[in-house]
Amino acid sequence: MIGSAPQVLTRTFAALGDPVRFTVVQRLAEGDATVGDLAAMFDITVQGVSQHLDVLERAGLVSRHKEGRTRRVSLEPAALGEAAGWMEARRRRLEERYARLDDVLADMEREGEGR
């Protein structure tokens, strides 16, 4: 029985698991934006958006830096890459196993015919 696991990646996934934050990330992939820009995309208050940015920031997915009286929000590629890498590694392992299973089945097939 294990208590639980690393929450560095789960935080990333949890952050992307909300439709607002997902859309924010998608938007930021097109280019940086201010908090106000992002808030204009949704039917929620800027405070709400700011809170969503808090969780994206805690997940390492975005960064905010002051710029005059606004704040420039940028997407951070590293967190995105790490999470994608984790998923791809698991997916690849599965595909490999399937490939090996296919080989075994093909062998059995051939064996069956040869008899």
Residues that bind DNA (CB under 7 A): 14, 18, 20, 34-37, 39, 43-48, 50-55, 64, 66, 68-71
Least distance between DNA and beta carbon 54 (Å)? 7
Enter the tokens of residue 29: 């992939």
Distance of CA 98 to the CA centre of its chain: 25
70 three-class SS: strand
The one of DNA, a second copy, none whose footprint includes residue 90, by CB under 5 to 8 A per kind, is a second copy
Residues 54 and 73: beta-carbon distance below 8 Å: no
Binding flag, residue 38, a second copy (CB under 8 A):
no
The site partner of 34 among DNA, a second copy, none (C-beta below 5 to 8 Å per kind) is DNA
What is the Cα–Cα distance from 67 to 14, expressed in whole angstroms?
Answer: 29
Which amino acid would we find at residue 83? Answer: A
62 binds, among DNA, a second copy, none (CB under 5 to 8 A by kind): none
